[in-house]
Amino acid sequence: MTVIDYASAVQNTIDEEMRRDPNIFILGPSVIGERLIAEFGKDRVINTGISETAACAAGIGAALVGGRPIVDTMWSPFLLDAAGQVINQAAVWRFKLGNTVDIPVIFRQGFGMYNFGLGVQHSHCFHNLFANVPGVHVAVPSFPSDAMGLWRTALRYAKNPTMMWEPLPCIWNDGGIREDVADEDFTIPFGKGDIKRKGKDITIAAVGYMVHLALKAAEDLAQDGIDAEVWDPRTLTPFDREGLVASVKKTGAMVVVDQAPKLNQGSAPCRPWRGSP
Amino acid sequence: MMDVPIGFAKTLEQYILPDKDKIISAVKKVTQEK
């Protein structure tokens, strides 16, 4: 076991997978780093300049011809400048070409840094918006081990556009989330949630950094005699409907904690009760 | 003082900063209603 922080868990996993698979390369407006270029070369570490649209378009094109690109836009609100590329290009090419192609492009973006003094254009939370896009897979890992397992799955097995949403408070709040992680190679399947704390009185379905606030809240609630279960979907698309329903059947009640606009009807943990997939 | 446009304050109410105590309040309310 090794203690590792969230940011290192993601970066180390990407590094390892790039060593394993020469088809993986990274591009985007924020891609910098002499270390990465020194190890992988300029053909696999590409700064596109500040154009999210160009970066996403290049990544989608590369994925269509056999590449496995990671498009790193860093600040997710600016991914909206390239939303057409994700929603109206990457997500639909499989359908346009009669299921004859794979589009294994990975979109990487951070979100939800709410207490860092950032401009308002840097702090939005649009993971739920993209979770409502058919054809795109959406992961929101909350712990370093989840990030490692889901990134490995995405970079090894993804056949569809996959969005890896990084909760920035997991990286920057209180020095970052740290965890004792198994040294052996492991993957985590998409569509499989995880109970982060067992309980019997109520299910707190939390996403991203909210999992950590929910865990702290559960500890305080225990002092008042309320035994809360904290459930993390880990991926919003596909969504572990069975896992969440099983938890709520056990506890009989649910509170959803998601870093998204209050009236966002797209909040993924609400799905089992809206009848959507 | 500038007038606040209708709907502006209501829109701001949709943006609630993450807060552990708000989670605790919500959980207590729901468990009491069970």
Read out DSSP for A23-44? Answer: TEEEEETT---HHHHHHH-TTT
Alpha-carbon distance B32 to nearest alpha carbon in chain A (angstroms) = 10
Residues of A numbered 107-136 whose beta carbons fall under 8 angstroms of chain B's beta carbons: which are they? 114-115
- Residue A80 DSSP class: G
- Using CB atoms, pick whichever of A169, A228, A262 lies closest to residue B27: A228
A214 near B CB under 8 A: yes
Q: In this model, does residue A196 exceed pLDDT 70? A: yes
pLDDT of residue A264: 52
Q: For residue A211, how far is the Cα from the chain centroid? A: 13
pLDDT of residue A34: 82
pLDDT of residue A149: 98
Residues of B numbered 1-30 whose beta carbons fall under 8 angstroms of chain A's beta carbons: which are they? 13-21, 23-24, 26-28, 30
SS3 A88: helix
Give me the residues paired with residue A137 across strands.
Answer: A162
Q: Which residue of chain A is at minimal alpha-carbon distance from B14?
A: A262
Both tokens of A164, joined, read 């890896």
The larger pLDDT score, comparing residue A82 to residue A260, is at A82
Alpha-carbon distance B17 to nearest alpha carbon in chain A (angstroms) = 7
The interface pTM score, or ipTM, of the predicted complex is 0.85
Q: What's the count of helices (H) and strands (E) in chain A, helices before strands? A: 10, 13
What count of residues does chain B have?
A: 34
Alpha-carbon distance B3 to nearest alpha carbon in chain A (angstroms) = 22
- The three state secondary structure string of B6-28 is CCHHHHHCCCCCCCHHHHHHHHH
Nearest to A133 by CA among A185, A172, A95: A95
Q: In this model, does residue A277 exceed pLDDT 50? A: no
Both tokens of A124, joined, read 């939005």
pLDDT of residue B1: 46
Q: Tokens 């709040």 identify what position?
A: A173
| Burial of residue A176, with CB atoms counted within 10 A of its CB: 0-12 exposed, 13-18 middle, 19 or more buried | middle
- Using CB atoms, pick whichever of A217, A253, A261 lies closest to residue B23: A217
- Chain B residues closer than 8 Å to A253 by CB: 30-31, 33-34
- Main-chain phi, psi angles of A231, to 5 degrees: -120, 135
pLDDT of residue B5: 53
pTM of the model as a whole: 0.91
Say whether A122 is catalytic.
Answer: yes
The larger pLDDT score, comparing residue B19 to residue B2, is at B19
- The three state secondary structure string of A213-242 is HHHHHHHHHHHCCCCEEEEECCEEECCCHH
pLDDT of residue A272: 64
